Structure 1
Amino acid sequence: KKPGYSRKVKWKKTRKPVYQPIVLFSCFYRREEESTGSCGVPANLVNEEPRTGLRSLKRSKSGKSLTQSLWLNNNVLNDLRDFNQVASQLLEHPENLAWIDLSFNDLTSIDPVLTTFFNLSVLYLHGNSIQHLGEVNKLAVLPRLRSLTLHGNPIEEEKGYRQYVLCTLSRITTFDFSGVTKADRTTAEVWKRMNIKPKKARIKQNTL
């Protein structure tokens, strides 16, 4: 090329990210108002007006929200009782939920109710109190789960935390806001072979 001339760079046209309208109930509870008993998803949440997200929230003729995202982060929830009921009352199509944010609550386990949303692709559980790494096994039944967060839970301190999650949930592409690479997969598989013994098939004995 001639001196003084810079090479032309062709920029590829990329689509702008599409943001789903969000039903947002973060900071619904204040910690100073927390009672000594259990604190679940309140049934009267349907009477509250959600905070606005990046896009205006559309509603159906019945008044329910037309969205695939439900955020209940920054509350004091320690169980998910009535979650299905509330989701059905808030959303026109709760079975299409693709993004659930339960970060910064007081959950000590992964409630099985989350495994009933088979279209779930993004699940935020960081900043909770989940104590047993085996809780992650429950999420293996979600075929579309691609993004998961668990950092800020006690399980993060367990040895092999990241490797265990990646070998248990082989479909996820983002974990704790970090992309999952081929090297991560390889490391997880090596860790699995060294630390997790395969279950032996039980041989049924015929009894007379």
Structure 2
Amino acid sequence: MGLMGDDLSNCGKPADLSFLKLNTFDTNLFLTAFGLESARYTRVGGVPDRGPEKKFLTKSLWLNNNKLKTTKNVDELVNAVIEYPSYLGWIDFSFNYITEIDEGLLKFPNLKILYFHGNCISDLNEVFKLRPLEQLRSVTFHGNPIANNPKYRSYIVSALPQISNLDFTPVVKTEKMFPMPPELIRKFKEDRAKEKALKK
């Protein structure tokens, strides 16, 4: 992997941007008001090293306990603070006010872990947007309104067949054999209909 691989070989520490009262992913505002120096070091005993462009050498970004309502433009922030964005494997959005998952997350195909617990997501279809992330293995959504849906777990396991862990609980083989919830079947049909309409 060359220099990039060498740089990332010791990038165990996450970039911890939690508890900053962030309510937007306005990159210019972040860099002006906070900057990379705002990364917390107490929780993990330090901050990540910096790369050639002075950005963080890490595969993990913690944005928990802020005031975010959407993940829109998170890709811009990632590009501003992470040296090698394409290697990003873990984002923690827990304990915000997020209602919407923006498809900008799909720009990071190596994401394996996404934490959304303790947010305000009320539409199960938001979860569906994560389906193209083939490397995704662990997600959390407990503490969101969607978790009160009786078909919550079966919907997510069916919508994201690539995951092996949901809400810190392993997904067992029998769960993946359950019939697909009707809501998800409708979602697939709607998406196919939209694709056909766009092709006309």
Q: Same fold (TM over 0.5)?
A: yes
% identical aligned pairs: 36
Q: Decide whether the 8 Å contact of 1:20 with 1:55 is kept in 2.
A: no
List aligned pairs for 1:27-66, cutoff 5 A. Answer: 27-29=19-21, 39-43=23-27, 44-46=29-31, 47=35, 48-52=37-41, 53-54=44-45, 56-66=47-57
Deviation at 1:92, TM superposition (A): 0.8
Which structure has more helix as a fraction of its residues? 2
Structure 2: unaligned runs, 5 residues or longer: 1-9
Distance 1:76 1:148, change over 3 A: same
Structure 1: unaligned runs, 5 residues or longer: 1-17, 31-38
Q: Distance in 2 between matches of 1:195 and 1:25?
A: 34
Residue in 2 that maps onto 1:69: 60
Q: Decide whether the 8 Å contact of 1:24 with 1:72 is kept in 2.
A: yes
CA RMSD of aligned residues (A): 2.7
Whether 2:106 is the aligned partner of 1:80: answer: no
Q: Distance in 2 between matches of 1:75 and 1:25?
A: 9
Residue in 2 that maps onto 1:12: none
Q: Distance in 2 between matches of 1:163 and 1:99?
A: 23
List aligned pairs for 1:1-40, cutoff 5 A. Answer: 20-29=12-21, 39-40=23-24
Whether 2:149 is the aligned partner of 1:165: answer: no
Q: Decide whether the 8 Å contact of 1:19 with 1:54 is kept in 2.
A: no
Find the structure with the greater CA-based Rg.
1
List aligned pairs for 1:92-107, cutoff 5 A. Answer: 92-107=83-98
Specify which of 117, 121, 124 is matched with residue 126 of structure 1: 117
Deviation at 1:64, TM superposition (A): 0.8
Q: Which runs of 4+ in 1 moved over 6 A?
A: none
Q: Distance in 1 between matches of 2:143 and 2:171?
A: 19
Q: Distance in 2 between matches of 1:148 and 1:24?
A: 19
Matched length: 176
Q: Which amino acid aligns with 2:179?
A: V
Q: Which amino acid aligns with 1:24?
A: D
Q: Distance in 1 between matches of 2:73 and 2:124?
A: 25
Distance 1:82 1:110, change over 3 A: closer
Q: Decide whether the 8 Å contact of 1:128 with 1:152 is kept in 2.
A: yes
Q: Which amino acid aligns with 2:20?
A: F
Q: Decide whether the 8 Å contact of 2:72 with 2:102 is kept in 1.
A: no
Q: Which amino acid aligns with 1:45?
A: F
Deviation at 1:63, TM superposition (A): 1.1
Deviation at 1:185, TM superposition (A): 1.8
Q: Which amino acid aligns with 2:15?
A: V
Q: Distance in 2 between matches of 1:194 and 1:139?
A: 17
Specify which of 169, 190, 198 is matched with residue 179 of structure 2: 190
Distance 1:196 1:86, change over 3 A: closer
Q: Determine helix, strand or coil for the equivalent of 2:61.
A: strand
Distance 1:114 1:194, change over 3 A: closer
Deviation at 1:50, TM superposition (A): 0.5
The TM-score normalised by the length of structure 2 is 0.78
Deviation at 1:164, TM superposition (A): 0.5
Q: Which amino acid aligns with 2:30?
A: L
